[in-house]
Chain A
Amino acid sequence: MSSPNKIPSHLQNEVVDHNQQKEIASKDARKRLHRSDSEGSKDAGESVMTVRWIRLWPESIRSDLIVSQLVLLTLIVLGFGGAIFWLVWQGTYRQVEADLLGAAELLAQDLRTQNELSSLTIAKTYRHRFGPAPRDHAYFAVWDHSGRQIGGSDPLPPHTKPHSQSPRADGRRPFESRTHGSHLEVIVSGPHGEQVLVGRPMAKENDGLRRLLLFVCVFGFFSLVAGATGAWYLARRIIQPLEQMTHTAEQISFRHLDQRLAMAPASNEVRRLATVFNSMLDRLQASFQQQVRFTADASHELRTPVAVILTQAEHSLSRPRTSDEYCAALQTCVTASGRMKRLIDDLLILARADMGRLELRRVPLDLAEIVRGSLSLLEPLAEERKIRLSSQLLSTGVDGDALRLSQVVTNLVTNAIRYNRPEGNVSVSVFERECRSWLVVADSGIGIPIADQQRVIERFYRSDPARTFDDNPGTGLGLSIADEIITAHGGTMDITSQPDHGTTVTIQLTSVRVPTVEAAGSAINTSSH
């Protein structure tokens, strides 16, 4: 907290951001392009807000399903009901209109043939059609061309008036029709310019329409209820396996990673989700177990040298010793500390590799030179173990980290020497083929049991459970580290082994041109014996 106004560092950042925004906002529009990010996020935030406002039901698949189902069903019911009602209403109206027109035409015909206006009346057939009830009875009126009523039924409804102009006598609709309240009236032209009106209240038809409306509403309501129930049931059927999965998943913690989702009879999609989820858990469990094993192994490997040092020190201090005894004790401590240091170094490399921070310092270099350098350091070890170390190194350029690559060579060749038989052979070759640089380390050693060949790169894996505590024991991490380093270089490492016949490790890296190497490129054959 070195800042004078004691603002916590994370708040400081916000303050700075705020100031920057203000500053940028004050500049011209051209600069606003730079703010597009922050504005975009603000817009996104607002749209989220609006979505929240529109949404009246909780955000869940179940309510989404029910609501959308209900909305859809309501639209369908309204559409169908409305259409049916409209069609029936229109049909009824046209029917009544046609009947009235027929009656009116008959009256107009009567006007032509009969002179006695008082005997004019609506034809009996139509009277029957209109219905026996008094409220359904039709009425008529006849006006001459000057608009004077010259005949009609009695009583006439008070609103009955002649049309402003005589209806047309031809065309598709040679009549006028009009409604007044529930009354429908049709006016046709008489033979001498008269206007003949026939009208009636549509009482029984309106009753029918009202019944239809009621029926449509009741039917619609019940289909909505049925639809909602169906949607609820459907949503439940869809959601239930998901909720079961959620419940199971909630109970899976890192201590109970062995639990799996049950494959209950469910839809294909849910089953697939469960399968994917389970296989993800398998991988998670495997990697978790690997991690646990690695931690246990690492702590075990670190505890052993610490135990040696602590026990040795306490033992030496428990009573006075001779100086020779002190020297021997210190030597023991030094050896144990050295082992611990190697282990810690190796663990550190692996930890860096796991984080993807191996930090290779890659330069174009000659792989043969690297191998030659490492081999010269390993020759004493080979000699001590009576191992014939031979090499065939052809120059090939790779883009790599010299230190790490020589570490790989050292690890591989040390393994080849250590897990060899007395008087055995180790051959190392470097060459270039098909634009790849190859490094092959082959030994005539004890080989790796077939069952263990898959696991040999695993950390702390040793194919021989009886670890030999020789003067310079390996950490059990050599191959893992080599694999990590080669992978970080974008190369591949393959191990083939035949028990009792030997192991061959093959490394491939991408070749690059190294100018200085080409000039000096030559085949070198060396042998330590």
Chain B
Amino acid sequence: MRVLVIEDEPNIRRLLRETLEESGYSVDTAADGCDGLSKATVWPYDAVVLDLLLPKMDGWDVLEQLRKTHKTPVLILSARDALSDRVLGLDLGADDYLVKPFERAELLARLRALIRRSAGQAQTIIHLGGLVIDLRGRCVQRGEIDLGLTAREFALMEYLVLHRGRVVSRSEIYDHLLDDADNSLSNSLDVHISNLRKKLNADIIETRRGQGYVIPE
């Protein structure tokens, strides 16, 4: 899952990046509204974490401009807690609003829910042909046995499961699982898929030659 963090306070920006990366997200950051908007319109992010008081262009403007063309889920993360700010943010098209200071667990849960909902899923635990995919615990189990997926493998699995029934192209996987500073996946997507198939020990990931991969419903 690829997330964009638009935040001007350098410490919070760094901490959000570290927190989200440790939770298995690919994270891009932007320090001002203009940079944030251009990144958000260029890349197909799974979610955007948006501060409101930003240099150059404030968060409301970013949201308004973004919503003209994109449906990317947006979570506003702001120190402004007035009712009018929250209402305005949600009315402009934000999907959630979290007030700073925030709890790490809540931010992660809200972000998970946001991504899940935008992919049309309601549950955090998905049962699929004898496999149990726990989006919250970020693990895949068969019965009681953990299959020991790496973070990268789980991210791949998660993306395919959330969009199951639809063919996901290789470039879409690159877009959603890579961040700006990352180019390690491009050469080894086949390796990751092959490892994943071995660990799952079931042929639930199908290859559509020339199109991409799909997990059938």
A275 in contact (CB, < 8 A): no
A311 in contact (CB, < 8 A): yes
Indicate if the CB atoms of B32 and A308 lie closer than 8 Å: no
Complexed CA–CA distance, A310 and B98 (Å):
14
A469 and B10 in contact (CB under 8 A), knowing A311-B19, A319-B22? yes
Q: Is the interface of A mostly helix, strand, loop or mixed?
A: helix
A60 in contact (CB, < 8 A): no
Complexed CA–CA distance, A299 and B53 (Å):
14
Partner of B104 from A300, A301, A315, A469 at Cβ < 8 Å: A315
- Minimum C-beta distance from B38 to chain A (A): 16
Indicate if the CB atoms of B101 and A303 lie closer than 8 Å: yes
Give how many A residues have a beta carbon under 8 Å from the other chain's beta carbons.
Answer: 24
The segment from B76-84, B122-130, B160-168 that touches chain A is: B76-84
Which residues of chain A come closer than 8 Å to B68, judged between CB atoms? none
Which residues of chain B come closer than 8 Å to A465, judged between CB atoms? 55, 58
B190 in contact (CB, < 8 A): no
Which residues of chain B come closer than 8 Å to A314, judged between CB atoms? 19, 103-104
- Minimum C-beta distance from A446 to chain B (A): 15
Indicate if the CB atoms of B22 and A318 lie closer than 8 Å: yes
B12 in contact (CB, < 8 A): yes
Output the nearest chain A residue to B107 by Cβ-Cβ distance.
A311
Complexed CA–CA distance, A299 and B8 (Å):
17
Indicate if the CB atoms of A307 and B8 lie closer than 8 Å: no
A306 and B101 in contact (CB under 8 A), knowing A312-B11, A466-B55, A466-B56? yes
A249 in contact (CB, < 8 A): no
B136 in contact (CB, < 8 A): no
Output the nearest chain A residue to B105 by Cβ-Cβ distance.
A314
Complexed CA–CA distance, A469 and B101 (Å):
18
Partner of B11 from A299, A303, A308 at Cβ < 8 Å: A308
Complexed CA–CA distance, A301 and B78 (Å):
11
Indicate if the CB atoms of A315 and B9 lie closer than 8 Å: no
Give how many B residues have a beta carbon under 8 Å from the other chain's beta carbons.
Answer: 26
Partner of A299 from B10, B56, B79, B103 at Cβ < 8 Å: B79
B70 in contact (CB, < 8 A): no
Partner of A466 from B32, B99, B103, B104 at Cβ < 8 Å: B32
Complexed CA–CA distance, A400 and B79 (Å):
39
Complexed CA–CA distance, A307 and B8 (Å):
13
Indicate if the CB atoms of A312 and B15 lie closer than 8 Å: yes
Complexed CA–CA distance, A469 and B51 (Å):
15
Which residues of chain B come closer than 8 Å to A6, judged between CB atoms? none
- Minimum C-beta distance from A309 to chain B (A): 8
Which residues of chain A come closer than 8 Å to B58, judged between CB atoms? 465
Indicate if the CB atoms of B100 and A307 lie closer than 8 Å: yes
- Mark out the residues of chain B between 171 and 207 whose CB falls within 8 Å of any chain A CB in the assembled complex: none
Complexed CA–CA distance, A303 and B79 (Å):
6
B18 in contact (CB, < 8 A): yes
A336 in contact (CB, < 8 A): yes
Which residues of chain A come closer than 8 Å to B16, judged between CB atoms? 311
Indicate if the CB atoms of A296 and B80 lie closer than 8 Å: yes
Partner of A308 from B9, B55, B99 at Cβ < 8 Å: B9
Output the nearest chain B residue to A312 by Cβ-Cβ distance.
B15
Indicate if the CB atoms of A304 and B56 lie closer than 8 Å: no
Indicate if the CB atoms of B101 and A310 lie closer than 8 Å: yes
Partner of A300 from B11, B56, B80 at Cβ < 8 Å: B80
Interface residues as binary, A299-337 with B (CB distance below 8 Å gives 1, 0 otherwise): 111011011111110110011000000000000100110
Which residues of chain A come closer than 8 Å to B104, judged between CB atoms? 311, 314-315, 318
A180 in contact (CB, < 8 A): no
Interface residues as binary, A273-304 with B (CB distance below 8 Å gives 1, 0 otherwise): 00000000000000000000000100111011
Indicate if the CB atoms of A299 and B81 lie closer than 8 Å: yes
A469 and B15 in contact (CB under 8 A), knowing A300-B53, A319-B22? no
B43 in contact (CB, < 8 A): no
A311 and B101 in contact (CB under 8 A), knowing A300-B80, A319-B22? yes
Complexed CA–CA distance, A296 and B15 (Å):
24
Which residues of chain A come closer than 8 Å to B18, judged between CB atoms? 315
Complexed CA–CA distance, A306 and B100 (Å):
8
Indicate if the CB atoms of B19 and A307 lie closer than 8 Å: no
**Can you report 29 residue pairs joining A to B where beta carbons are below 8 Å apart?**
A296-B82, A299-B79, A300-B53, A303-B100, A304-B9, A304-B12, A304-B79, A304-B100, A307-B9, A307-B100, A309-B101, A310-B103, A311-B16, A311-B19, A311-B102, A312-B15, A315-B15, A315-B18, A318-B19, A318-B22, A318-B104, A332-B15, A336-B11, A465-B58, A466-B8, A466-B54, A466-B55, A466-B56, A467-B8
Closest 4 CB pairs of A and B: A466-B55, A303-B79, A307-B101, A307-B100
B positions within 8 Å CB-CB of A: 8-12, 15-16, 18-19, 22, 32, 53-56, 58, 79-82, 99-104
